[in-house]
Each structure stands twice: as C-alpha cells, then as structure tokens.
Amino acid sequence: MSAVDAKIVRTMCPMNCHPTFCGMQVEVESGRLKTLSGDKDNPDSAGFLCVRGRATSEIFGNPKRLLYPQIRDDRRTDIWRRVSWDEALDFMAKRMRSAGPEAVGLWAGHGGFTVGSAVTVQLMQRFAHMYGCQNWHPAMVCWGLGGFGVGLTGALKVNTKEDMAENSNMIVLWGANISSQPNTARHIVAARRRGAKVITIDVRRTEAAAQSDEVFLIRPGSDAAFALAVMHVIVTEKLHDSEFIEAHTVGFAELSSHVLPFTPAWAAAETGLEEGQIASFARAYASTRPAMILLGGSSMHKSANGWHAARAISCLPALTGNFGVAGGGLGPRHGAHSAAMCWCGRPLIPTVLWRSGVIAR
Ligand code: SF4
C-alpha cells in the first residue's frame, strides 16, 4: 500500500435524514475506508455528523452485512442457504411467472428507498411497468400518510430550518423528535438563544423536550383532537387572521362550524391535558408571530386515520396568517421539500381545506 493510493472523497451521509443529508469527507486507501469525518465545507451541515453518521464507518467490512442472496426452502424454519445470483434470479422469475403479474407487487425496502438512491426505486418502477405488476410506494407506511394529510390542506411546501433559526418567535415541535433530524436541532437551539419560545407536543419526553420551554404530553393518537380544540379556541375567541383567511383560503365558514363541538373540555378528555392548557396554547400560538410548527415526520401518522392529524394541524398556520411569512408556516418536516418562495420570489401561500368539498386555491 502506498500513499499514492490514498485519496479524500467528498460525499454525503448515507442515512435517511431529511430535509437534508450531511456532508462527509472520507479518506480511502487502496479501496478501503480509512477515516470518516464531517465535511466542513458543506454549506448546510458545516462539518456536523451525528452519532448515526459517524457510525457509518462500521458498515464497511462488517461481517454481519448481507452481501449475497440466500434462499429459505422451508418457511417454517430459519435455515437459509447461500445461492448464486443466477439461482436467486431464476427462483424469483419462476415464482413470479407462476403467480402472474396481477398477483405480484414490488415494495422497495425503506433502506433501499432512502439510502439506496432514487435510481434503485426508479429501476423497480420501470420493471413493474414493463412487467405489469403493482409497485408500492414505501413511504405509505408512515410519513407518506402525513404528507398526504398536509397535501390535502395545500401545505406541502415548508419553511427552511435556517429561516426558523433567524425569524421564528415560536417553534412548535409537534411530534417532531430531533433525533430523527439532528441537523435541524442546532437551528432550534439558535432560535431559542435569540429568544424564540419552543414548545413540544408529543406522547413522551424526547430529546426535543430538553430544548423546550413548555412540553405537552398527550395520549397517543389524540393529536387531531388537540388541533381541533386549538382551532375551536382560535375561532370562538376570534383570534384568527380574517384578512389572510379572506385573501388566501376557502372553507372558513365550514371549518368554523365544524370545530364548534370540539371544545377544550372535550379535547381534555381525549388528550389527557387540562382544559386550560389547551386554551392557553391556542392563545399563545395565535398571538405570536411568526410561529412555525415543525410537524413530526412519521409516528403521528402510524395509527388508523392518523393522517387526519396532519390535516388538522396544517390548518393552524392558515387560520393565524402564518403561511407565506418568514419564520412561520410549517417547519422542515422529515421528507418535506423546502420551498417557501416561488422562483419569482413570491411566497407560496398554502390554503385551508377541511372536509371533502372544500378545495384549496
Ligand atoms: S443528521 Fe446524522 S444521520 Fe442524518 S444525515 Fe446528518 S450525519 Fe447522517
């Protein structure tokens, strides 16, 4: 091995963090990983690598990695035999032919989908189209459903974490655990140092709670109930932004009647919070500008109808005129695209949609 073989490769962390991956510098010698560190020149991560990113070096040469195809002939056992790629492909082709394309579905593993690059998924999709079988989107088990919920309200675009650090006066971490997106954490800390209030709403105390001024622990699956009661307070106490609602949303009258039965007393029974806690959160959120809600990427949406929580929560920035403003809207959600501004420089204004028949414009 000579020093000539050694080279520094600039790359990205292969984990599945969003909204951005962290930059890495990898020293490779004779085709083997020698050292790994954060890329200080990366404009976003600026040398940061969390514990997961740093542990990437354990992947290479790890004897526990699955590198070859294996077949289990009897599903009642845990006995696997190593086979050649040809045998594995013949095995799959035979099974698929005997089932027929209408009875075959492809489902990319989450790792292949997120870490394995878009190319893996695109090739699978092409194959499914050519063969005529189903192709299932791996996101549908968790954050896809949350995305579906916020998409229905017209709020898929999010404000950036840099915008949060510089401009938000309130940050609501709603089911957002910063260990799933550690690269957002320093921006939350920066905002807090500047004086922004950080509030966590979650079903358990996470790392985010340690960075928060106030923590609301609610029963699992009661996020939509909390959001409905918050809307009830905002609407009945007339804390909403009428001008914004008039200019940028539709469905306000329907929404107002819909939330009337969902009082803080009703939500207290659902969430396990006290009635006064719900009302005081609603008043604080409605009266603080700009306020940003960082919606959790996955867990909240993993219950039956859990995506309704995303719909309810993403109505809040529209009710309070927090959409389309620096430091407001929805924060950098796991898997969301950051694009608060249109190419022409105008803010993209999402709108309220609640219940079928009310369409965003
Ligand atoms: S936050 Fe950690 S796991 Fe995520 S991209 Fe950065 S180093 Fe990788």
At residue 36, the pLDDT reads 94
DSSP state string for 249-307: -S-HHHHHHHHTT--HHHHHHHHSS-HHHHHHHHHHHHHSSSEEEEE-SSGGGSSTTTH
The region of weakest confidence among 15-29, 80-94, 124-138 is: 15-29
At residue 316, the pLDDT reads 96
Residues in the chain: 361
78 and 9 in one domain?
A: no
31 and 93 in one domain?
A: no
Centroid of ligand 1 to alpha carbon of 11 (angstroms): 12
At residue 110, the pLDDT reads 64
Q: Relative to the CA of 53, which ligand 1 atom is closest? A: 7
Q: How confident is the model at residue 115 (pLDDT cuts 50, 70, 90)?
A: low
153 and 227 in one domain?
A: yes
238 and 222 in one domain?
A: yes
Distance CA 5, CA 348 (A): 50
Tell me if 351 CB under 6 Å of ligand 1.
no
Tell me if 244 CB under 6 Å of ligand 1.
no
Q: What is the CATH number of the domain that holds 33?
A: 2.20.25.90
Name the range with the highest mean pLDDT among 54-68, 98-112, 251-265: 251-265
Other C-beta atoms lying within 10 Å of the C-beta of residue 40: 11
At residue 339, the pLDDT reads 32
287-319: pLDDT as tens digits: 999 999 998 866 777 777 778 898 999 899 999
Say whether pLDDT at 272 is over 60.
yes
Distance CA 45, CA 35 (A): 18
Centroid of ligand 1 to alpha carbon of 46 (angstroms): 12
Which pair of tokens denotes residue 16?
Answer: 């599945």
Mean pLDDT of 343-357: 29
Distance CA 155, CA 324 (A): 10
Tell me if 36 CB under 6 Å of ligand 1.
no
Domain finish residue from 140, 169, 198: 140
Higher-confidence position of 73 and 113: 73
Centroid of ligand 1 to alpha carbon of 37 (angstroms): 12
Higher-confidence position of 147 and 224: 224
Residue 98 lies in a domain: yes
Residue pointed to by tokens 């695109």? 122
Domain finish residue from 140, 169, 191: 140
Task: Give the residue whose CA is nearest to atom 6 of ligand 1.
Answer: 22
130-175: pLDDT as tens digits: 999 998 866 655 667 777 788 888 677 788 999 999 999 999 999 9
Residue 327 lies in a domain: no
| Total structural domains within the chain | 3
128 and 148 in one domain?
A: no
SS3 of residue 38 by DSSP: strand
Distance CA 215, CA 157 (A): 26
Other C-beta atoms lying within 10 Å of the C-beta of residue 254: 15
The region of weakest confidence among 16-25, 55-64, 187-196 is: 16-25
Percent of the chain past pLDDT 70, that is, above it, reads: 84
At residue 18, the pLDDT reads 61
At residue 14, the pLDDT reads 76
Which pair of tokens denotes residue 184?
Answer: 């957002």
Which pair of tokens denotes residue 2?
Answer: 């000579």
Mean pLDDT of 92-104: 95
Say whether pLDDT at 359 is over 90.
no
Mean pLDDT of 241-265: 96
Tell me if 233 CB under 6 Å of ligand 1.
no
Q: What is the CATH number of the domain that holds 294?
A: 3.40.228.10
Mean pLDDT, the chain, rounded, equals: 84
SS3 of residue 62 by DSSP: coil
Q: Relative to the CA of 12, which ligand 1 atom is closest? A: 5
Residue 149 lies in a domain: yes
Indicate left, alpha or beta for 335 from its phi (over 0: left) and psi (-120 to 50: alpha). left
Tell me if 149 CB under 6 Å of ligand 1.
no
Task: Give the residue whose CA is nearest to atom 4 of ligand 1.
Answer: 17
Distance CA 225, CA 238 (A): 20
164-219: pLDDT as tens digits: 999 999 999 999 888 777 888 889 999 999 999 999 999 999 888 988 999 999 99
Say whether pLDDT at 342 is over 50.
no
Residue 152 lies in a domain: yes
The DSSP secondary-structure symbol of 101 reads: G
Q: Relative to the CA of 17, which ligand 1 atom is closest? A: 4
At residue 2, the pLDDT reads 53
Q: Relative to the CA of 183, which ligand 1 atom is closest? A: 1
110 and 233 in one domain?
A: no
Higher-confidence position of 189 and 342: 189
Residue 108 lies in a domain: yes
257 and 222 in one domain?
A: yes
Domain finish residue from 140, 162, 182: 140
250 and 190 in one domain?
A: yes
At how many degrees (to 10) do helices 223-236 and 275-287 cross? 60
Centroid of ligand 1 to alpha carbon of 64 (angstroms): 22
241-250: pLDDT as tens digits: 999 999 999 9
Residue 209 lies in a domain: yes
32 and 159 in one domain?
A: no
Amino acid in the structure at residue 230: V
Higher-confidence position of 60 and 103: 103
285 and 158 in one domain?
A: yes
Tell me if 184 CB under 6 Å of ligand 1.
no
Tell me if 24 CB under 6 Å of ligand 1.
no
**Could you list the residue range(s) of the whole structural domain that residue 118 is in?**
73-140
Residue 360 lies in a domain: no
197 and 285 in one domain?
A: yes
279 and 147 in one domain?
A: yes
Tell me if 52 CB under 6 Å of ligand 1.
yes
Contacts 24+ apart (CB under 8 A), 19-23: 19/158, 19/160, 19/161, 19/181, 19/184, 19/332, 19/333, 19/334, 19/335, 19/336, 19/337, 19/338, 20/44, 20/45, 20/183, 21/45, 22/48, 22/49, 22/50, 22/53, 22/183, 23/47
Residue 63 lies in a domain: no
